[in-house]
Amino acid sequence: MLRWVLVMLLVLGAARVATPAAARGADRPLTPGLTDQADEFAAIDAHALAAPTSVCTSVAPLAACVTQAAQNEREKARAIFRWVTANIAYDISAAALSDNPEVVLARRRGVCYGYAVLFKALAEAAGLKTEVIIGHSSKFKPSEGDERDDWLNHAWNAVEIAGRWQLLDCCWGAGYLDEQRRFVRRFTPHYFLTAPDVFVCDHFPENPRWQLLDPPIAKDEYLQRVQLRPPFFECGLRLVSHHSAVIEADDSLAVTIDAPPESALTAVLYRDGRQLKDGCTFTQRDATGYVIHSRFPAAGAYVLRVFARRADTPGDEYGWALDYAIRARSAAVGGAGFPKAYGSFLTRNCRVERALSKVLRAGDAVDFSITAPSAEDVVVATGGAFVHLPAQGPGFSGKVPVSPGPVVIFAKFPDRSAYEGLLQYTAQ
């Protein structure tokens, strides 16, 4: 009975929930930064994934098969991790059976506790020493603001490799739940043998020993930390201005995050579970990283969600890197937001020095100042005319009378024949 109660507690908060579809690719793990791991385990992974159906019906023969090509404990643990993440689906309806590894294996379904007990059974059958760890998964969802999940809501594993305990999470390595709470399989190697100081960003064990930190952090410190997701580490990011998960702000906020040149950031603002319209956030590079500006249309609770990608990531999708919970004390005067930034503004590492308000006053000579590294020309399109901004040092700046309607800034870069859109304003 006690084990069943524990399993049900773990169901309540174990699964990650993807961000709403409006933020495309939000919970898709980024793979750059893990290339070395992929190369190291390519053969082990391939062997584990090729296990024949005939050996997948019971723990002992499956463990023997998937670890057959492993040369050491690390490779054994990886082979089991890879098979479990590829073959077990997260399913809340299977919670009652998730404490029996043979049943989890037969049904190919379970909750986080089922993943953990199956890994433990397979690992022990392969001669590894392992434990199931019970604890808390700290995360924000857009509808929750700064509310926390119930305590003791997740399970994962520790495994001893070459005399040293290490941490892994098969459940989070397997995939996530989408906004309809349907399981989406998406392998996330970040959760295999994760460094303890990184793992504690979103896992807090009931027993402090299993933090594998000396000294372990206190519960209060854990709850105050920003939950950093895999893309944060894969993109080489570093928090600069705000290190607490909850931020008290007035009507606006600027958050600074260091990022290497090959990484790009963007952000969206949520309130009451809804992604707010364009113009509430604006992200641009500074000397070493990014400054994320936010303006709040009303006093209250918000979630600022930051996304990241590397330039060598296929496609144009960003991965969910972190959340801040924000308590705004007042509303931005006039409700004016930021201009719309096109993809090239971020990927070209551009920056606005002047004219950072979305709404311009028609007829005014607006003072624009844009830094666009390597750009050959920058123009302001307004009222059917194109006005070239003079080059001024590393940027382009000048006063341009704006006509009613959209006002768009374009730039010409040497590697493209056409001009690329950077920013869009509205003059009224």
Both 109 and 204 in one domain: the answer is yes
Both 355 and 289 in one domain: the answer is no
- The residue type found at 186 is R
Task: Indicate whether 21 belongs to any domain.
Answer: yes
Task: Indicate whether 237 belongs to any domain.
Answer: no
Domain containing residue 314: CATH number: 2.60.40
- Per-residue pLDDT of 161-178, as tens digits, reads 999 999 999 999 999 888
Both 201 and 72 in one domain: the answer is yes
H or E element at residue 54? none
Both 120 and 91 in one domain: the answer is yes
Residue 391: Cβ-neighbour burial (10 angstroms; 0-12, 13-18, 19+)? middle
What does the DSSP 8-state code read for residue 320?
Answer: E
Both 201 and 90 in one domain: the answer is yes
In this model, does residue 2 exceed pLDDT 90? Answer: no
Task: Indicate whether 235 belongs to any domain.
Answer: no
Q: In a 3-state reduction of DSSP, which class is residue 212?
A: coil
Mean pLDDT of 382-394: 91
The chain-wide mean pLDDT, for the chain, equals 86
Paired tokens of 294: 């936010």
Domain containing residue 419: CATH number: 2.60.40.10
User: Residue 158: what pLDDT?
Assistant: 98
Mean pLDDT of 332-343: 80
Mean pLDDT of 18-43: 51
335, 369, 392: which is the final residue of a domain?
Answer: 335
- Per-residue pLDDT of 84-133, as tens digits, reads 999 999 998 888 888 899 999 999 999 999 999 999 999 999 999 999 99
Mean pLDDT of 242-270: 93
- What sign results for the dihedral spanned by CA atoms 211, 215, 221, 225? negative
In this model, does residue 32 exceed pLDDT 70? Answer: no
In this model, does residue 265 exceed pLDDT 70? Answer: yes
User: Residue 78: what pLDDT?
Assistant: 98
User: Residue 14: what pLDDT?
Assistant: 46
Percent of the chain with pLDDT over 90: 67
335, 352, 374: which is the final residue of a domain?
Answer: 335
Q: Which is it for strands 246-249 and 319-328: parallel, antiparallel or unpaired?
A: parallel
Both 348 and 421 in one domain: the answer is yes
In this model, does residue 135 exceed pLDDT 90? Answer: yes
**Contact yes or no for 110/101 (Cβ under 8 A):** no
User: Residue 69: what pLDDT?
Assistant: 94
Both 347 and 291 in one domain: the answer is no
Both 42 and 108 in one domain: the answer is yes
Task: Indicate whether 164 belongs to any domain.
Answer: yes
The contacts of residue 2 (CB under 8 Å, 6+ apart) are none
Task: Indicate whether 361 belongs to any domain.
Answer: yes
Both 344 and 326 in one domain: the answer is no
The pTM score is 0.78
Domain containing residue 86: CATH number: 3.10.620
15 or 282, which is more confident?
282
Task: Indicate whether 371 belongs to any domain.
Answer: yes
Q: Give yes or no for a cis peptide into 52 (omega within 30° of 0).
A: no
Both 346 and 202 in one domain: the answer is no
Mean pLDDT of 280-298: 90
Task: Indicate whether 202 belongs to any domain.
Answer: yes
Domain count of the fold of the chain: 3
Both 288 and 422 in one domain: the answer is no
Measured distance CA(198)–CA(201) in Å, rounded: 6
Q: Which is it for strands 420-427 and 359-360: parallel, antiparallel or unpaired?
A: parallel
**Contact yes or no for 99/120 (Cβ under 8 A):** no
User: Residue 143: what pLDDT?
Assistant: 36
User: Residue 146: what pLDDT?
Assistant: 37
Both 140 and 193 in one domain: the answer is yes
Range of the domain at 210: 2-225
281, 302, 335: which is the final residue of a domain?
Answer: 335
Task: Indicate whether 407 belongs to any domain.
Answer: yes
- Per-residue pLDDT of 338-383, as tens digits, reads 999 888 888 888 899 899 888 999 999 999 999 999 999 999 999 9
